[in-house]
Structure formats: C-alpha cells, structure tokens
Structure 1
Amino acid sequence: MANGLAFVILAFAIGVLLHSANAQVPAVFILGDSTADVGTNNYLPASTFKANFPHNGVDFPFGRATGRFSNGLNTADFLAKFYGFKRSPPPFLSLNGTSAIKRRSFRGINFSSAGSGLLDMTGQVTNVVPMSEQVYQFSTVYNDLVAFKGKSETEKFLAKSLFFISVGSNDIIGNYHSNQSIPKEQFIPNLGLVYEKYIRSLISYGARKFGIVSVAPVGCCPSQRLYTGTGDCLDDLNDHARTFFSTMDNLMRNLSCEIKDLKYSLGNAVEMTMNVITYPQLFNFTDVKSACCGNGTLNAQSFCTPTAKLCSKRHKYLFWDAFHPTQAAAKLAAFTLYGGGPQFVTPINFAQLAQA
C-alpha cells in the first residue's frame, strides 16, 4: 500500500513537469478564502484578519510577509505555476484603475479574501470580502472586458479560462462552534444552494471551466484538535467536511448534465489530507498535528506573530499555523489537484481540465 502510494505521487509529480507546458489556459480567476488569498486583506483598512507581518512569509523571496497565511506560497500560487504563469494572479483590490484591471484580466485576477465564506455573515466581524462581493467584483471585470473586447470575444475568452474556487471551511467551523449551531443535515445542503447560486452567476458571465477544492478535514487542524483534549482530530467536524464534498459532487454533476459545455474538476481535500496524515513519511512530513508557528499546546493556542515560536524545519510540517498548511503542504495539494487520480480529484484532474 505504502509503495503504491509513493509511486502514485512520483508519477503525477513527473506528469506535472511533462505536461505543464501544453496544459495552458488563457487566464486563472481565483475566488475563495485564506487557502487561496494572496494579499487581498492588506487592502482592507478595517479588516482585523491579516497576515502581512512575520513570521508569515519567512520562506517567501526576501522573507517578505505578503498577506498569505503561509511561510511562503499557497496552493493557488502553485497551480498558477503549473499552468505556465510566471506569477500568481494579483489581488483585485491591488489593481488601481480600470486600465490596470483590463491588463491583468487577460491573465487572471485573485478575488479571494482570508476569513471569508459562502455566507455573508461569515467573516463579518473581521471585515473581509465574502463570496457575494467577490462575484460582484468579477462582474465589474467582465463589464470592463466586454467594453474592450466585445461580448462574444469576452465569453469565448472566459470559457477557456480557469475559475479556481476554494471556500467553505470558515462557514463550517463558524457554524459548528456557534451557540446557535444549525444541524449538519440542514446546514450543509443550505451551503450547497448558496454555492450553486454563485457558480451559476459565474456561468452567466461565460465561465465554463471550474477547478473546485472542497473543504479539507478541518477537524484535524491544530486549532480544532485542541477541543478533543487528546490531540486527536475532531471527527464530528470532519464529518461536516465529508458531507460538504458529497454535496458539491452532486451539485457539479447536476450542473454539468444541465450545461453541456461545462467542465469541472472537484478536489476531495478530505481524502487528500487524510492520506498525508495517515502516511506522513511518504510525503516527507514528521509533524502532521501541531503548527509550525504559534505557542502553547500543539503550537495552536495563539496566532502566528513576530513573537510566536517558529519551527526550524518548516518543510517537515503539514500545518503552518493553527489553521493553514505550510508551503510544502500547499505544493503537495497543488500537485495532487493537477495530476492526481480519481480518488483525489474527480471526474478529471486540473491538468485534464485545462485541455478539456
């Protein structure tokens, strides 16, 4: 079993190197939360959820804290590289004026905002950009493109572009720990309906290729392990993530049957992450429970700040802070999404999606 898994990882890693040159898309548009944010919240003066300070970015070029909740790059960054882009699409809010937006929109823009969710109420306290606003921001880009290229050419361009979405974990964690928590059987289907609304909005603007990452087993994050008292995963919260994947799987199947030219890849982040947690040695990890940056039990009782305890072998850790993956884990996730098999990404992987 272990040797087989190692072979799978080696095979799709080589596949990425061999096929990245011809697996191109004209642009990548990214929506979601901190798993894909490359600095949006830096441009939100009122936001209290930021990562533009050390030790964040310690392994980024020049050790710069960019606003990513990571020691370096995140999954969205690596996917952009695999698709042949020299750099990851910039935050929408970093683009000053219509001309800058037009220039960047030909290669892609990142709308993701750390702390956000599918529901407007998620992240409201920290003043971040919810999915509803992210989709609206994209609509303004669409209008600018139409004004420049015309409606027909814009929709052809967008139909070939990739729409990468990674969102939902903040909604699920927030509801789970709420004093007015809604039962999983009711809450997750409702999240699916909201997700569907946003995907249909993007489809109405011409989007046809969706690379979607479902919610990871958030019950295994260091912050959630604290609730068990034993350091084990919070299994009930992971069940929410599994149910969310099933909901998204059904949603995307139904949409692809309804809209014949719609293509998608759905990453099963639960299976991807649990595979690493179960077989850490295969992926060169020695710690899959605690945070690299933080303080206290599992290094998860405080945020990653300039005064927090910082691990020295960051490439050996699965988790960067109490919630987020390290650069090494993010790269592995991107490899899996791009070249992985159907147990991790369905019905096709991200490399195949580019060519579809």
Structure 2
Amino acid sequence: MTVPTAAAPALLLAAVVLCSSSSATCDEVRDGVRRPVPAMYVFGDSLVDAGNNDFLSPPAPRARPPNGVDLPSLVRHRTGRFTNGFNLADIIAQQLGFEFSPPAYLSVTTPLSDLDLLRGRVGANYASGGSGILDITGNGSITLREQVQLFAETKARMIRAGLAGRESLDYLLAQSLFVISAGGNDFDAFDYGLPMSEAPAFIAAMVDTYINHINDCAAEVACCGGGKFNGEVGCSFATSLCADRDEYLFWDAVHGTEAAYRRAVHAFFYGTARDAEPVNLAQLVPTVVAVYSSSI
C-alpha cells in the first residue's frame, strides 16, 4: 500500500509504504491491551527513525534538541526523533495499541528488550535519518539495504534463540506490520538522466506539480529554524522555536510536526483511496480496536 505525502517546505516527496504479509491478525492481548498485530518492524528515513542515528558517528545527522521537546519523559532521555514529539512510526504503533515505536535497533542492549525482540514481540525500528532507497543516498546513515540486512540478521538470531519455535516465529512475522518510509532523500542523489542545464526547469516543474499538496496550509512556515519560512536554517537551540506547535504543519525544513503526523496516520488508517491504496490500514488490519483521538 503506497501513501504519497508532501514532506516539508523544501517540497520533497516521500513514499510511505505500509504492508503486511496477511490480512489475518493475531489479535493478541499483552499488558491488558488488545493488539491486532504482535510486532511492528520499521525501515526507512528520518520520518520514522526512533533513535538509531544517535548511535552513529558524524556526518550522520542527529536529532539534537529542541527535537523531541514535546516527548514525554519516558522517551525523552534519548530523543532520536526529527520532530517535536512522536513521529509517524510512533503514531502508527500507538494506533495499534503500543506505547510508541518499537525500540531503535541499535538501542536494544537490555536483556528484557532483547528478549522481546527474540520472541517476535514488539518488533524493532531499523530506520536511519538521511537514508534512502538508493545505496548512495545518505551520508553515514544506515542504508535501506543495510536495514533489511539487519532484519535478516535479527530473524536468524530469533531462530537460533528458539524462544518461539520456527513455525510460531514464522506465524508471528507473517502477522506483524512492516512499515517503510523512503524516497524523499533520494532526490539529492538520483540521476534523472538530464543535462545539468535542464535541472532547474525540471525541479521547477516538479515543484509546480506538488505545490497543490500544501495549498490548504495557512502559511508555508516551519516551527523551528531560521531564514525564509524558517526553512533555510536547520532546527537548533540557536534558531527560533514556535510556541503553538500543534498549529504548525512543518517542524523544520524537511519534517512535519507531531500534529501533522497524527493527521497523516489518521488518513493511513481511515482515509479513502486518495489517501491510502489499495486499502487503508483499518481494512488491512480489520481488528484494530484503538479509538483515534477525537481532537483530529
């Protein structure tokens, strides 16, 4: 299922692909919460990175404060998210009955979290800010190919651990939700096969095509940053920060606010074919019992 979405004032587009290998569900109960899927596995870029880049060396981008300014103290000790609060992966997970995104894979160092992962429960987040579909995209980030390899290694560890049994593990993985957010960063690396002299006109035409996606916004302005529309300087303690963050669509030059992501996830779950096709997530996972916030 492919859901196109405008990324930010920079007018990049990202493709968010949500998929499950089966429309059937486990509908399991854990910690008193009924969850339609046993686990969630996340791949992609900064729209869903839950902290992997915090463990990478420069020049991989890091979500430094004030990123995460609105996260609850439970997760704020390691921000990791390129927005003011929860990101797309978190909100999708919450809609499925989890507290937030499964843990960043590089942060899974405690016996308890590792045990959950090896049992095929909760899942893991392999996403890395700056990565793309192409291997050459991203500077120091975990490429999408490497993320998939990490998942393959995770499955091999699960099999070796034998905590779920091979047949049970295959079933759990088949019923899990796999979320992939990728494509936006590839615009910087992709070779369109055009002469450089034609690139400005091509980009201008592309911008004209996509500008309609944000025509409903009152103002094309980011919450955190500097320069024109707050989109010319990256978000940091040295730049301006809006106070009414729930009223902004853009957090910085390339990322949405938590409020914008909540609206997007609402469309992923309950939207028409214009928002999610061939089916929305509520149809893909028909036993979803989480009630989405009436404040949307």
Q: Deviations over 1:58-107 (max 9, x none)?
A: 21124946021101111110000000112320100001278743423411
- Provide closer, same or farther for how the CA distance between residues 238 and 163 of structure 1 changes in structure 2, counting only shifts above 3 A: farther
Structure 2 counterpart of 1:330, from 258, 261, 265: 261
Taking CA–CA contacts closer than 8 Å with sequence separation of 6 or more, which of the two structures ends up with the larger relative contact order? 2
Q: 2:51 aligns with which of 39, 45, 51?
A: 39
TM-score (norm 2): 0.75
SS of 2:186's equivalent?
Answer: helix
> In structure 2, the residue corresponding to 1:291 is in which secondary structure?
coil
Distance in 1 between residues matched to 2:98 and 2:234, nearest whole Å:
32
Q: Indicate if the aligned counterparts of 1:23 and 1:354 stay in contact, CA closer than 8 A.
A: no
Question: What is the RMSD computed on CA atoms of the aligned residues?
Answer: 2.7
Partner of 2:215: 278
The Cα offsets for residues 30-64 of structure 1, whole Å up to 9 and x where unpaired, read as: 0000011011100112443111x222112112494
Return the alpha-carbon distance in structure 1 between the equivalents of residues 182 and 91 of structure 2. 17
Contact map agreement 1:102 1:145 (CA 8 A) in 2: no
Given the superposition, is the C-alpha separation of residues 234 and 28 from structure 1 closer, same or farther in structure 2, using an over 3 Å criterion?
A: farther
Q: Distance in 2 between matches of 1:305 and 1:44?
A: 19
Please tell me whether the aligned partners of residues 136 and 189 of structure 2 are also in contact (alpha carbons under 8 angstroms): no
Aligned residues: 244
- 1:108–1:164 distance in 2 versus 1, CA, 3 Å: same
Alpha-carbon contact 2:83-2:251 (below 8 Å) kept? yes
Deviations 1:226-250 (A, max 9, x none): x99xxxx9541576xxxxxxxxxxx
Residue aligning to 2:67: 56
The TM-score normalised by the length of structure 1 is 0.63
- Partner of 1:319: helix, strand, or coil? coil
1:153 counterpart = 2:168: yes
Q: Please state if 1:163 is matched with 2:94.
A: no
Compared CA separation, residues 155 and 338, structure 1 to 2 (3 A): same
**What does 1:176-325 align with in structure 2 at a 5 Å threshold?**
181-183=191-193, 234-236=204-206, 274=212, 277-280=214-217, 286-287=218-219, 289-325=220-256
Alignment partner, residue 143 of structure 1: 156
Give yes or no for the alignment of 1:348 onto 2:285. no
Q: Deviations over 1:245-304 (max 9, x none)?
A: xxxxxxxxxxxxxxxxxxxxxxxxx7xx955x2334xxxxx43x1211111111111110
Unaligned 5+ runs, structure 2? 1-32, 195-199, 288-296
Aligned to 1:214: none
Moved beyond 6 Å, runs of 4+: none
1:96 corresponding residue in structure 2 = 109
Note if contact 1:70-1:324 (Cα within 8 Å) is conserved in structure 2: yes
Cα distance change, pair 122–155 in 1 and its aligned pair in 2 (3 A): same
Q: CA 1:98/1:120 → structure 2, altered by over 3 Å: closer, same or farther?
A: farther
Compared with structure 1, are the counterparts of its residues 48 and 238 closer, same or farther at alpha carbon in structure 2 (3 Å cutoff)?
A: farther
